[in-house]
Amino acid sequence: MDKIIINGSYPLKGKVKVSGAKNSTLPIMAACLLSPSKFILKNIPPVLDAYTMTKLLSSLGAKVKWLNETTVSIDSTNVKMWKAPYQIVSKMRASVCVLGPLLARFKKAEVSYPGGCVIGTRPIDLHLKGLEKLGANIELKDGYVIARAKELNGKAIYLAGVYGSTVLGTANVLMAATLAKGETTIEGAACEPEVVDLGNFLIKMGAKIKGLGSPTITIKGVKELHGAEHTIISDRIEAGTYLISGIISRGEVEVEDINPKFLTVFIDKLIECGVKVEQTAKSIKVKAGPNLKPLEITTLPYPGFPTDLQAQMTAFLATIPGISFIHEKIYPDRFMHAAELLRMGAKIMREGATTMIQGGQLIGAPVMASDLRASAALVLAGIAAKGKTEVNRVYHIDRGYPKIDKKLASLGAKIRRVKA
């Protein structure tokens, strides 16, 4: 098992390119199951979750071939299986997004129920509610979600939950509705760029969809879909993470191949904090100002502040004099990183879904990664800390950050990956 070792307190400087969006890639790969056709997907991030999804598609009968590090061909012509096995689904919660495509294509699907998650309970009740509205009979048996339908019929479906819209739930229902009879309207739909990316791919396949990027999506069902070629959008969370690496180190970093519109609220918060921000159509450049100020942040569904950048911002705010507050409105238990940051000298107090952060100097220490974004937060903290930081269990970070050690090293970070 690898670990990442960082010698901190070196300002980062330079440019870094963003990879394809992991959260677009996984449902788009799953969407290839909708039609017995051939697909070419470009700008796939070379991360563990993408490789896991290729294994899942292959287990169902798809022919998957990597044409290069970021391009994959998927031929789902001979897919005959509709059961997604526990051995693969248990490794990645996003595997559940094959449920909608399999049900739409075969009128039956069996997908292992996703297990618990360290960032908190993440039920799929809204996925199942939406598919039931389309006409599926849902049964939970032996740890599997078993869905069957004589036919799928378009309906008006409300998908927002207690903590806002569901991204994967919207994806699952959106994919299933493309082959349903009649018209489906999803109210309370997720507005994330990754959902829009999926919708644009489905349109290339022949789907009829309107309202992408808004809380109301309308789908007119078609009899069949066909193959397509698509380039995945850039990863806004990876972009935000590298921007934070620049300012937490009190350096100057430019992130390339990213649309700033994907990060509007995040950028606004950086400016409010005192960070100097320059934007072009495809890049964002940040420089830490001399008098950074504490912040109050509330995570919300897109276009609000992304929950997937909450841990990284916690690490940053732990270095700014004064008291900052973060209110987590998406995953109230998403604070596993806080205990490890305390080991590095951070002053963080938690009250329910809110943390209070008293900024100061971080000190290097051995820490343990608990999940993908917490891993990134600990690496960022190590970049800012005095002395040496060891981040253990970094296989979490490999799920969503391609070559993070090499990208940070290219910016001047004193970082290396070693065998634990």
Q: What is the pLDDT of residues 74-116, one digit of tens each?
A: 999 999 999 998 889 888 888 999 999 999 999 999 998 875 4
Q: What's the pLDDT score for residue 92?
A: 87
Alpha carbon of 372 to those of 91, 148, 184, 261: distances in Å? 13, 34, 34, 24
Q: What's the pLDDT score for residue 115?
A: 54
DSSP track, 323-347? EEEEEESS-TT--HHHHHHHHTT-E
E strand map for 169-273: 183-187, 208-210, 216-220, 228-231, 252-256
Instruction: Give strand pairing partners of 217.
Output: 186
Residue 117 annotated as catalytic: yes
Residue 362, pLDDT above cutoff 90:
yes
Q: Quote the mean pLDDT of the chain.
A: 95
Around Cβ 94, how many Cβ atoms within 10 Å? 23
E strand map for 188-239: 208-210, 216-220, 228-231
Q: What's the pLDDT score for residue 353?
A: 95
DSSP track, 299-313? E-STTSB-GGGHHHH
Identify whether the C-beta of residue 25 lies closer than 8 Å to the C-beta of residue 64: no
* DSSP letter, residue 114: P
Return the residue matching tokens 């049964």: 139
Q: pLDDT class for 161, splitting at 50, 70, 90? A: confident
Mean pLDDT of 381-395: 96
Q: What is the pLDDT of residues 291-331, one digit of tens each?
A: 999 999 999 999 999 999 999 999 999 999 999 999 999 98
Q: Which domains occur in the chain, in start order?
A: 2-19+234-419 (3.65.10.10), 22-231 (3.65.10.10)
Task: Calculate the dihedral angle through the C-alpha atoms of 207, 210, 212, 214, rounding to the nearest 10 degrees.
Answer: -150
Mean pLDDT of 156-164: 89
Return the residue matching tokens 């290097």: 364
Residue 121, pLDDT above cutoff 60:
no
Beginning with the edge strand found earlier in the chain, give each strand of the sheet holding 366-368 in spatial order: 366-368, 388-392, 2-7, 414-419
Residue 36, pLDDT above cutoff 70:
yes
Q: What's the pLDDT score for residue 120?
A: 45
Residue 122, pLDDT above cutoff 60:
no
Instruction: Give strand pairing partners of 358.
Output: 323, 347
Decide: helix, strand or coil at residue 27.
helix
Identify whether the C-beta of residue 413 lies closer than 8 Å to the C-beta of residue 242: no
Q: What's the pLDDT score for residue 119?
A: 44
Mean pLDDT of 160-178: 92
Report the alpha-carbon distance of residue 297 to residue 117 in Å, rounded: 23
Mean pLDDT of 341-368: 97
Q: What is the pLDDT of residues 243-284, one digit of tens each?
A: 999 999 999 999 999 999 999 999 999 999 999 999 999 999
Report helix, strand and coil shares of the chain as percent, to nearest 5: 35, 30, 35
Residue 219, pLDDT above cutoff 60:
yes
Q: What's the pLDDT score for residue 341?
A: 98
Length reported for the chain: 420
Beginning with the edge strand found earlier in the chain, give each strand of the sheet holding 83-84 in spatial order: 83-84, 108-112, 144-148, 137-141
Around Cβ 332, how many Cβ atoms within 10 Å? 17
Mean pLDDT of 388-393: 96
Query: How far does CA 246 lie from the centroid of its chain?
Result: 21
Count of CA atoms in the C-beta half-sphere (13 A) of 148: 5
Q: Which residue has the higher pLDDT, 115 or 379?
A: 379
Alpha carbon of 61 to those of 56, 104, 199: distances in Å? 9, 17, 24
Mean pLDDT of 170-189: 98
